[in-house]
Amino acid sequence: MLVAIPAAFLEIHGMSSSRTLLGILTPSSNTSLEPLTSALCAAAPGVSAHFARFPVTEISLKPAALGQFDDEKILAAARLLADAKVQCIGWSGTSAGWLGLEADRILCQRIEDATGIPATTSTLALQEIMRKTGRKSLGLVTPYTDDVQQKILSNFASEDMACTAEKHLGISVNFDFSEVSESELTYMVASVASAKPAPAAISTFCTNLKAAHLVERWEAAYGIPVYDTVSTVIWKMLRMTGYDTAQIKGWGRLFSEVA
């Protein structure tokens, strides 16, 4: 005989009868965002992340590389996430940086139309965070090539996010982003933090950088909020589901300060 477990029993044992299921769209060659997202969600009681991949191997302005972000490929992955009855779908990626934020706005609407599930992205969440905090200047840390970086700077400026300091590495192979060391990332963050005038916030802008778990350390060292794009999309998704992000500790000021 199958017996239902009473909600009271679940609560006594630190469990919950309700779950917050987040669906994450993931570049196929990304090896950083899944472990980081899962670790972040482990700090949020009752929250779990579920992933669907679509092909992305190169970040450049070449037509073939830009074509990787065709909405139809992303929508196919989103439909698979819908099978898991997730409450929200998030594109954990930064392609709107060089494609323009309108590309993400259109994508989110298409995902919702196709699945009936609300959607957001790392980049749209970053923009919202900047707006909510009243911060206008941003220090940008990325692994991207010169031309991609310039495109991001231009697109951000048109969205009222002036990048007053930046560092980038000139890499185009998406897998290689995950190989950037902690010490190199720290050097880059320290460099933009020391700019004169200092930016109001810093973003580690690429979801295949192993950076999100370092944010709290950087904020303590440099006194500037750091918005990592693995974290920004989770922050927004949790808010969309009504989750109190102030419960999340150890992943930076974003989760407690931006309400």
Tokens of 24: 């994450």
Are the C-beta atoms of residues 222 and 11 closer than 8 Å to each other? no
Residue extents of the structural domains in the chain:
20-257
pTM over 0.85: yes
Q: Prior bond to 6 cis, omega within 30? A: no
pLDDT in tens, the chain (259 residues): 344 444 444 444 444 458 999 999 999 999 999 999 999 999 999 999 999 999 999 999 999 999 999 999 999 999 999 999 999 999 999 999 999 999 999 999 999 999 999 999 999 999 999 999 999 999 999 999 999 999 999 999 999 999 999 999 999 999 999 999 999 999 999 999 999 999 999 999 999 999 999 999 999 999 999 999 999 999 999 999 999 999 999 999 999 998 6
Q: Give the CATH fold of the 20-257 domain.
A: Rossmann fold (3.40.50)
CB distance 228 to 113 below 8 Å: no
Strand-by-strand arrangement of the 162-167 sheet: 162-167, 137-141, 201-204
Instruction: Name the DSSP letter for residue 68.
Output: G
**Residue 133 to residue 177: CA distance in whole angstroms:** 29
For 47, which DSSP code? Answer: E
Is the CB of residue 111 less than 8 Å from the CB of residue 240? no
